[in-house]
Amino acid sequence: MDISLIKKLPPGPKEGFGIKLRLWRIRDAVGFFEAMHEQYGDAVYFRLLNRRFCAVYSPELIEQVLVTKRNSFHKGPAFKKTLIVHNPTTLTGDGDAHQRLRKLAQPSFRRKALDEYANMMIEEIVRMQAGWKEGDSFDIVPVIHQLTLDIASATFFGGDIRISASLIKDVQETLNWSMKLTMLPMGDLIAKLPLRNNRFRKDTCKAMDRLIFQVIEKARGDEERVDLISSLVRATDEDGIEDPLSDDEVRDEAYIQIQASHETSANALAWCFYHIGLNPDIRARLEQEVDEVLQGRQPSAKDYKNLPYTQAVFSEVMRITPPVYVVGREAIEDCTIGDYFIPKGTIVQPFWRAPQRSEKYWPEPLKFKPERWLEKQPPERPKHAYVPWGGGIRNCLGTGFAKMEVILTLASIGQRWRIDPISKEFPEVRTLGFYRFKHGLPVTLTERKSFYT
């Protein structure tokens, strides 16, 4: 198709409302995208101040952006301009640099490596439950965030360098601040001002850098280390063609993987406990599977494949309340999406929450039904009607890590505890960056007596 013959932009709100739209987008990103979809259709073109955007909602258009026309797009600017990383990474790189990094990093997330990480995960999951008592009430969200921070600490840095989970949390905050700057007018200028957040970013990076380079030095002399950073230090592609990662590249990859693994897993787990707690029949079935498989012992990596219903619960959580619901791709050339013209420089945003909650592709789409994942999936359903981990060659590298982490946590907790949300109302959420609880998730604990009988 001759692009020069197609100059029709997608429909959307009239120009001149940049500030209003931007404030709406920051306050309620999901509501913003859903309203645009309802009013204008499967492709919506709009401006936010000096940037052009196009949100796409159908599986077909999402597939074009992520797969069939991916060469017309590069990664969006939010992660690239974090001010934290200085080299391309598996999350921020493009083209040949991205392919090289994927080849080198993939072995660090394959099954053999995941089995090693699983042992560290279980230790942290058991430690978290040590102080729990019958009838306890608390906010499960910070508890789960602390768990995923502790898991990140153990799996990334190994047992001999016990990094403070608070430092990883500080890294998370600096990454979030840096990403916010990319969305603000004159963000580059603000980043140079002597503000508290900017000083905090520099101090946090110095502290984290010292530990990362300490692990890198240890890994150069110890082939037996199994932590993630050491695995990246030794990374080679299967063909032995690519140059290994430099120390600075390992450092940047560690930062970006902390961001990707911790935040997504923590929010996904919190949503798991919300949905399970509000559906007694689903919880009973999950408990029965866990009891039959584990027989009272703690789970291990080998149990993962024997917990299909637990996996189905997680798949349904990621369908109906995905923590990551949209991504950005910048058009590096004039191109087309569907029947529309997309000018070079436009940020195209696949909003996959829309098809994942659409009656067109899912019977009773807003009902939490894990059993749908145990049935044969309809062949007519488009592949990109469900892509909570992204699609194409840029799908999330740590998907296996996150799935292992969540399933082991649900199994370990589910065999001993029931976690009940105190309120049955749908919680208020924050939607900028991730879909997460705004005021936490207060819960009560009930100890399962059947565990001891």
pLDDT digits (tens, 9 = 90+) for 302-320: 999 999 999 999 999 999 9
Tell me the mean pLDDT in the region 274-287. 97
Number of neighbouring beta carbons within 10 Å of residue 190: 14
Mean pLDDT across the chain? 88
Q: Which tops the pLDDT comparison, 83 or 411?
A: 411
Asked if 267 and 259 count as a contact pair (C-beta separation under 8 A), the reply is no
d(CA 169, CA 165): 6
Q: Which residue has the higher pLDDT, 31 or 3?
A: 31
Q: How far apart are CA 308 and CA 371, in angstroms?
A: 10
Q: What is the pLDDT of residue 6?
A: 61
Q: What is the pLDDT of residue 10?
A: 96
Contacts of 331 (CB under 8 A, 6+ apart): 72, 73, 342, 343, 344, 345, 346, 347, 348
* Higher pLDDT among residues 15 and 124, named by residue: 124
CATH number of 3-451: 1.10.630.10
Q: Output the pLDDT for position 136.
A: 96
The residues facing 330 across adjacent strands are 74, 347
| Lowest mean per-residue pLDDT among 200-209, 259-268, 281-290, 334-343 | 259-268
Structure tokens at 338: 């569907």
Q: Return all residues near 47 (Cβ < 8 A) that are at least 6 apart.
A: 15, 18, 21, 53
What's the rounded Cα separation, in Å, for the pair 419 and 283? Answer: 10
- The arithmetic mean of pLDDT across residues 19-38, rounded, is 89
Q: How far apart are CA 227 and CA 238, in angstroms?
A: 20
Per-residue pLDDT, averaged over 363-380, amounts to 95
Residue 5: predicted pLDDT: 53
Q: How far apart are CA 65 and CA 61, in angstroms?
A: 6
Kindly give the residue spans of alpha helices, DSSP state H, lying in 226-343: 228-233, 247-277, 280-294, 308-320
Average pLDDT over residues 22-51: 91
Q: What is the per-residue pLDDT for 451?
A: 47
Integer Rg of the chain from CA: 22
pLDDT at residue number 3: 59
Give the pLDDT of residue 409: 98
Sheet holding 329-331, edge to edge: 43-48, 51-56, 347-350, 329-331, 73-75
Q: Where are the alpha helices (DSSP H) in 278-335?
A: 280-294, 308-320
The Cα 31–Cα 208 span in angstroms is: 36
Residue 92 pLDDT > 90 = no
Identify the pLDDT of residue 2.
Answer: 56
Phi, psi dihedrals of residue 303, rounded to the nearest 5°: -80, -15
Question: Kind of pairing, strands 347-350 and 329-331?
Answer: antiparallel
pLDDT level of residue 98 (50, 70, 90 thresholds): confident
Percent of the chain beyond pLDDT 90?
A: 57
Range among 90-99, 187-196, 383-392 rated most confident: 383-392
What average pLDDT does range 410-425 have in this prediction?
A: 96
**pLDDT of 411:** 97
Rounded Cα distance between 35 and 55, Å, is 11
Range with the largest mean pLDDT of 26-35, 100-109, 163-172: 26-35
Across residues 235-253, what is the average pLDDT? Answer: 81
* Cβ–Cβ under 8 Å, residues 408 and 125: yes
C-beta of residue 291 within 8 angstroms of C-beta of residue 416: no
pLDDT value for 80:
57
Range from 1-5, 32-36, 335-339, 369-373 carrying the lowest mean pLDDT: 1-5
Provide the pairing of β-strand 347-350 with 51-56.
parallel
**What's the pLDDT at 238?**
65
Is the model's pLDDT at 323 over the cut of 60?
yes
The pLDDT confidence band at residue 452, using thresholds 50, 70 and 90, is very low
More confident call, 114 vs 31? 31
Residues 156-179 pLDDT 10s: 888 777 777 788 778 878 877 877
* Structure confidence at residue 26 as a pLDDT band (50, 70, 90): confident
d(CA 241, CA 7): 43
Residue 235 has pLDDT above 90, yes or no: no
Per-residue b/e over 278-313, b at no fewer than 16 CB within 10 Å?
A: ebeebbebbbebbbebbeeeebebebbeebebbbbb
Q: Over the stretch 43-82, which tens digit does the pLDDT of each residue have?
A: 999 988 778 999 999 999 999 999 999 999 987 665 555 6
Which residue type, as a one-letter code, is found at position 118? A
pLDDT class for 4, splitting at 50, 70, 90?
low
